[in-house]
Amino acid sequence: MKVTMVHDQQLRWALFFGLLLSLGIAGCDDESDVQGAVDTDSSDVSDTGAGDAERDVADDVDAPDIADTPDVADTPDVADTLDAADTPDVADTLDAADTADGQDIADVSDVSDAADAADAADTSDAADAADLSDATETSDGADIVDASDVADAGATPLQFEMYLDDQNVLNMRTNLSAFPQSCVADTIEVSCEDLDQDGITDAWEQLVLERFVPLLRFDESEQLINDDAAVLHAVGRVAPLATALFRADVYIMLGYSRDYGSCLGISSHNGDSERVALRLVDLEGADGRHLRIEQAYTAAHEGSVTDNGVVFSGESLSELVYDITADVTGTRWVVFPAADKHATHATIERCESVSVIPCVDEDCAPDGVDDPGNYDRIPGVVNAGEDAHRLFDDLTGIGFPGDFAWTEDEFCGGLGGSSCSSAVREKLLDNPFE
Ligand SMILES: [Ca+2]
Ligand SMILES: [Ca+2]
Ligand SMILES: [Ca+2]
Ligand SMILES: [Ca+2]
């Protein structure tokens, strides 16, 4: 199928560039034309799909939902509405609106407020875990209102904090251990289950996915912005590494219902599986409670001759872009998907410097618009688990009916068809750091 598709695309491009040449437009050598034309998202499709159904067993087990139960009795959640407009540490001011909470006002180090603020922005299940941090006001012993969270009593609320260190690298601190035994011993108010059986707590995996999934800052010409039918959702995988220091690799497939193509849509296709990946390290060597980005990968035309994927590590990590205002969690990684094609770039400069050749060039970031915030998206993200023990496979629930996380079939963005994009599983399994 790949061969057929490439031929089709080459034919289309040949026709297209024949048109360009006939119009007297020069400056592109044939080789790069073809390179640009071969859509990199194409995938080998050899899987018949057999066996997928039986592996769907875990689909209904949505681990982080377990955390929902205590939330029901968590009446002070109402205060989250007030926290919604907050950037993290400013949130304490809003605690003043939490009537009995006056003593919190001066507490500028209240980590849990960052978590409260996060609740408003979250749409996915991990947010429910974060909701538990409503009870974390226990860190402010004087917090009377949150004492009403007695329904949650007996366990320690989940806490986390995202921040940049002095080298402009993103860190996360949390009281949730990556290891189930510690999770249980610490009586953190989340499920300590490890249903994908990789040795680390699934709630920790979900927390990591939710907080490290990047904000996507789109170009002003990006078609999905005004496409009501567009679906954007991420599928992730978190896998621990066996190293002296605690490390984990985070794979995040950025799923789009469509690649709109470049040059009048000539290379468009259903389904667009892009991705980023991170290697996180616990510099304290402990158990994932103080994570720092050690390496980052942004994929662009992955696996093609025009592969512009970049691995950032060491000093180059400081190139990564963050936003401390667009997201109420405080600090979030920002990447720049190329207009309509969605190749993911770490910086605007890297995107715009891909090429100056028409139809191969790429454009990023909203320029000259009145409402740049309208071009920001933070995708929801589900944890696919591990191949041998899948947590999420059928992607219908996130807007991609007919697509699966773990199949070898190509990803068609819920729209069906053929000549779509690389299988999601490739994005979850291929390690860009090794
Ligand atoms: Ca796990
Ligand atoms: Ca995992
Ligand atoms: Ca694409
Ligand atoms: Ca732009």
> What are the CA-CA distances from residue 265 to residues 9, 41, 299 (Å)?
12, 15, 21
CA 189 to ligand 4 centroid distance, Å: 43
CA distance 312 to 383: 24
Nearest ligand for residue 386 CA: 2
CA 281 to ligand 1 centroid distance, Å: 17
CA 356 to ligand 1 centroid distance, Å: 44
Task: Count CB-CB contacts under 10 A for residue 75.
Answer: 12
Give 241-308 as a 3 state SS string.
ECCCCCEEEEEEEEEEEEECCCCCCCCCEEEEEEEEEEEEEECCCCCCCEEEEEEEEECCCCCCCCCC
CA 347 to ligand 4 centroid distance, Å: 12
Contact 80, 134 (CB under 8 A): yes
Q: pLDDT value at position 276?
A: 98
Nearest to 200 by CA among 237, 234, 170, 164: 237
Nearest ligand for residue 383 CA: 2
CA distance 355 to 365: 16
CA 309 to ligand 2 centroid distance, Å: 24
Q: pLDDT value at position 154?
A: 77
CA 288 to ligand 3 centroid distance, Å: 33
Nearest to 381 by CA among 127, 119, 61: 127
CA distance 195 to 179: 13
Nearest ligand for residue 194 CA: 1
CA 198 to ligand 2 centroid distance, Å: 6
Which residues crowd ion ligand 4, with CB under 5 Å? Answer: 219, 363, 365, 367
CA 368 to ligand 4 centroid distance, Å: 8
Nearest to 206 by CA among 232, 175, 172, 236: 236
Q: pLDDT value at position 283?
A: 86
Q: Report CA torsion sign: 190, 401, 268, 232.
A: negative
Domains of the chain, residue spans: 2-58+213-429
Reading the chain (434 residues) residue by residue, the pLDDT tens digits are 343 444 445 545 544 444 444 444 333 333 333 333 333 333 333 333 333 333 333 333 333 333 333 333 333 333 333 333 333 333 333 333 333 333 332 333 333 333 333 333 333 443 333 333 333 333 333 333 333 333 445 789 999 999 999 999 999 999 999 999 999 999 999 999 999 999 999 999 999 999 999 999 999 999 999 999 999 999 999 999 998 999 999 999 999 999 999 888 888 999 999 999 999 999 887 899 999 999 999 999 998 888 999 999 999 999 999 998 755 667 999 999 999 999 999 999 999 998 878 777 899 999 999 999 999 999 999 999 999 999 999 999 999 999 999 999 999 999 999 999 999 999 999 999 99
CA distance 34 to 367: 29
How many CA atoms are closer than 13 Å to the CA of 60, on its beta-carbon side?
Answer: 3
Structure tokens at 314: 């060491």
Which residues crowd ion ligand 3, with CB under 5 Å? Answer: 41, 259, 272, 341-342
Nearest ligand for residue 260 CA: 3
CA 270 to ligand 3 centroid distance, Å: 10
Task: Count CB-CB contacts under 10 A for residue 129.
Answer: 31
CA distance 364 to 380: 21
CA 40 to ligand 2 centroid distance, Å: 27
Nearest ligand for residue 348 CA: 4
The b-or-e profile of 146-173 (16+ CB within 10 A means b, else e) is: beebeebeeebbbbbbbbeeeeebbbbe
CA distance 312 to 360: 24
Cβ contacts of residue 321 below 8 Å, gap of 6+? Answer: 333, 334, 335, 336, 346, 347
> What are the CA-CA distances from residue 405 to residues 17, 59, 234, 402, 410 (Å)?
36, 11, 10, 10, 10
Contact 128, 119 (CB under 8 A): no
> What are the CA-CA distances from residue 31 to residues 14, 42, 250, 305 (Å)?
11, 19, 35, 10
